[in-house]
């Protein structure tokens, strides 16, 4: 289905920029400070964007490129910026991401860092990742940062039985649940990154420049000795990720699963953990699965045959499409700003049981999503808050999940993964549809 209106530029992108994703990943490392080599405006945008979703302080340092830096290079500003951050924050690691301006002039950041002599003692680890905004999405920047971290910090040594888990850009609530699952299987799991506390912490008496929490640097170094790496993301097959880097450098087996959203994809994840640990699935999750299936039966008549537009980052879209298909909802459009080229095949693989045809399209902006949506007559949309204007125009509900959620509170506490996450999503979808039918009823009713 072509987009009717021709255009040559992006109009309201269905994505954010690569360095934003890198900053998010760096925030999930213990004692780390995200640092942008580029203009101050980029840092301000990223800081504000992340704060609006997570509702937590978010410091992003910058080398503050100027006009002269663009002409003569920003080496001096990079060195001064790193010295200032080291002095004021005393970080254990500084994650350095490059912006469009630096990449456009061809700044050799790797060489500059090799020649840099830190003034602080002890000197923090410096991890550099190339993240021009004109190449890829915030999720691409996220995965690039994770790959850079393990590629530059992980070490070889005596093999262990530990498991590396790369969940992708999930919510802090998802990360906490993943740690609970790993503990129930008695597995030693290193999750990278882990911003479950750093971006969803408790109220404190005093402000801390670097919040507590994050994946310990010692755990990252030990990732080179793990038994296996698990990563979430059906569109990551064959791509350069943290798990792929560990496989290349240390021969650690790489297992790629879909985001465990819904029964089927969660079953695959729990079966994998059972095989690795040699333990049966703990009864707490067996019971959660049973309650979830029972709720599917209870509410099937309310959701079956409904039509949904799903949008957001690619692997979240794939996970939601799998979930919606298994509860009888047709995802008529699965849209993303991602450009992996794997979205269509991934959606097709998880929607074989769909009640109707599914259109999956990558590299879309919201203007194109709107044009397609006008013809599809969906019952609701599901994704981040940037789709609100389309839902408002179509006069249909928007169920907010994923990132970003800027017009509601609690985006960081939405649970998507596992049977427990599917239960919350299922209840939200069903109750949204029930409320819509109730509000549109000519007589109204208070009993089903």
Q: Is the peptide bond before 122 cis (omega within 30 degrees of 0)?
A: yes
Residue 205: band (very low, low, confident or very high) from pLDDT cuts 50, 70, 90: confident
Q: Tell me how far apart the terminal alpha carbons of the chain are, to the nearest angstrom.
A: 39
CATH 3.40.50.1980 positions along the chain are 18-136, 163-277, 299-440
pLDDT (tens digit, 9 = 90+) per residue, 218-241?
Answer: 999 999 999 999 999 999 988 999
69 has pLDDT over 80: no
275 has pLDDT over 90: yes
2 has pLDDT over 70: no
pLDDT (tens digit, 9 = 90+) per residue, 117-163?
Answer: 888 788 999 999 999 988 889 999 999 999 999 999 999 999 999 99
CATH 3.40.50.1980 given to domain 163-277:
yes
Instruction: Report the pLDDT value the prediction gives residue 44, as an integer from 0 to 100.
Output: 94
How far are the Cα atoms of 35, 79, 80, 89, 115 from residue 120, in angstroms, in the given order? 16, 12, 12, 11, 15
Q: What is the largest CA-CA distance in the chain?
A: 75
Phi, psi of 413 (to 5 degrees): -105, 5
Q: How far apart are CA 221 and CA 11, in angstroms?
A: 42
183 has pLDDT over 90: yes
**How far is C-alpha 259 from the chain's CA centre?**
10
Instruction: Calculate the average pLDDT of the chain.
Output: 94
Instruction: Report the pLDDT value the prediction gives residue 215, as an integer from 0 to 100.
Output: 98
The overall pTM is greater than 0.85? yes
Residue 6: band (very low, low, confident or very high) from pLDDT cuts 50, 70, 90: low
12 has pLDDT over 90: no
Instruction: Report the pLDDT value the prediction gives residue 131, as an integer from 0 to 100.
Output: 95
320 has pLDDT over 60: yes
pLDDT > 70 fraction of the chain, expressed in percent and rounded: 98
Q: How far apart are CA 22 and CA 166, in angstroms?
A: 14
Closest CA to 145 of 273, 47, 17, 38: 17
334 has pLDDT over 80: yes
pLDDT (tens digit, 9 = 90+) per residue, 252-268?
Answer: 999 999 999 999 999 99
Instruction: Report the pLDDT value the prediction gives residue 126, as an integer from 0 to 100.
Output: 97
pLDDT (tens digit, 9 = 90+) per residue, 360-373?
Answer: 999 999 999 999 99
Helix (H), strand (E), coil (C) string for the chain: CCCCCCCCCCCCECCCCHHHHHHHHHHCECCEEEEEECCHHHHHHHHHHHHHHHCCCCCCEECCCCHHHHHHCCHHHHHHHHHHHHHHHCCCEEEEEECHHHHHHCCCHHHHHHCCCCCCCCCCEEEEECCCCCCCCHHHHHHHHHHHHHHHHCCCCCCCCCEEEECCCCCHHHHHHHHHHHHHCCCCEEECCCCCCCCCCCCCCCCCCCCCCCECHHHHHHHHHCCEEEEECHHHCCCCCHHHHHHHHHCCEEEEECCCECHHHHHHHHHHHHHHHCCCCCHHHHHHHHHHHHHHHHHHHHHCCCEEEEECCHHHHHHHHHHHHHCCCEEEEEECCCCCCCHHHHHHHHCCCCCCCCEEECCCEHHHHHHHHHHHCCCEEEECHHHHHHHHHHCCCEEECCCCCCCCCCHHHCCCCHHHHHHHHHHHHHHHHHHHHHHHCCCCCCCC
Phi, psi of 89 (to 5 degrees): -110, -20
Instruction: Report the pLDDT value the prediction gives residue 405, as an integer from 0 to 100.
Output: 97
Residue 1: band (very low, low, confident or very high) from pLDDT cuts 50, 70, 90: low
Q: Which CATH number fits domain 299-440: 3.40.50.1980, 3.40.50.170, 3.40.630.30, 3.40.50.10320?
A: 3.40.50.1980
310 has pLDDT over 70: yes
Instruction: Report the pLDDT value the prediction gives residue 65, as an integer from 0 to 100.
Output: 83
Phi, psi of 231 (to 5 degrees): -130, 145
Query: Are the CB atoms for 315 and 360 separated by under 8 Å?
Result: no
Which residue did the predictor score with more confidence, 2 or 210? 210
pLDDT (tens digit, 9 = 90+) per residue, 15-44?
Answer: 999 999 999 999 999 999 999 998 888 999
- Note the CATH number of domain 18-136: 3.40.50.1980
């Amino acid at each position: 289905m072509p987009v009717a209106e021709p255009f040559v530029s992006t109009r309201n992108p269905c994505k954010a920029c690569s360095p934003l994703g890198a900053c998010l990943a760096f925030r999930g490392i213990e004692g780390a400070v995200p640092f942008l080599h580029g203009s101050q405006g980029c840092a301000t945008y990223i800081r504000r964007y992340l704060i609006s979703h997570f509702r937590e302080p978010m410091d992003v340092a910058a080398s503050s490129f100027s006009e002269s830096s663009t002409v003569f290079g920003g080496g001096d500003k990079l060195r001064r910026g790193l010295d200032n951050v080291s002095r004021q924050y005393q970080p254990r690691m500084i994650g350095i991401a490059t912006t469009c301006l630096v990449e456009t002039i061809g700044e050799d950041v790797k060489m500059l860092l090799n020649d840099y002599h830190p003034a602080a003692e002890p000197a923090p680890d410096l991890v550099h990742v190339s993240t021009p905004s004109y190449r890829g999405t915030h999720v691409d920047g996220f995965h690039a940062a994770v790959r850079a971290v393990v590629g530059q910090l992980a070490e070889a040594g005596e093999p262990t039985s530990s498991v590396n888990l790369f969940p992708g850009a999930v919510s802090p609530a998802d990360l906490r649940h993943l740690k609970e699952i790993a503990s129930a299987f008695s597995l030693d799991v290193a999750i990278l990154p882990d911003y479950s506390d750093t971006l969803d912490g408790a109220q404190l008496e005093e402000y801390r420049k670097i919040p507590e929490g994050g994946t310990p640097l010692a755990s990252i170094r030990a990732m080179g000795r793990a038994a296996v790496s698990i990563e979430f993301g059906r569109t990551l097959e064959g791509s350069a990720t943290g798990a792929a880097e560990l496989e290349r450098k240390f021969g650690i087996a790489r297992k790629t699963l879909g985001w465990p959203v819904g029964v089927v994809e969660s079953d695959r994840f729990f079966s994998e953990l059972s095989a690795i640990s040699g333990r049966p699935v703990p009864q707490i999750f067996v019971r959660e699965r049973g309650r979830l299936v029972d709720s599917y039966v209870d509410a099937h008549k309310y959701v079956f045959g409904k039509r949904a537009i799903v949008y957001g980052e690619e692997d979240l879209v794939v996970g939601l499409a799998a979930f919606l298909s298994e509860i009888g909802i047709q995802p008529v459009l699965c849209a993303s700003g991602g450009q992996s080229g794997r979205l269509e095949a991934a959606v097709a693989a998880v929607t074989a049981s769909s009640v109707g045809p599914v259109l999956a399209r990558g590299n879309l902006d919201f203007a194109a999503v709107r044009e397609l949506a006008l013809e599809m007559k969906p019952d609701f949309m599901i994704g981040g808050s940037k789709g609100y204007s389309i839902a408002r125009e179509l006069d249909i509900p928007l169920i907010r999940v994923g990132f970003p959620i800027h017009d509601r509170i609690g985006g960081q506490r939405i649970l998507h993964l596992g049977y427990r996450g599917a239960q919350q999503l299922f209840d939200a979808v069903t109750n949204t549809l029930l409320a819509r039918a109730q509000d549109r009823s000519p007589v109204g009713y208070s009993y089903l």
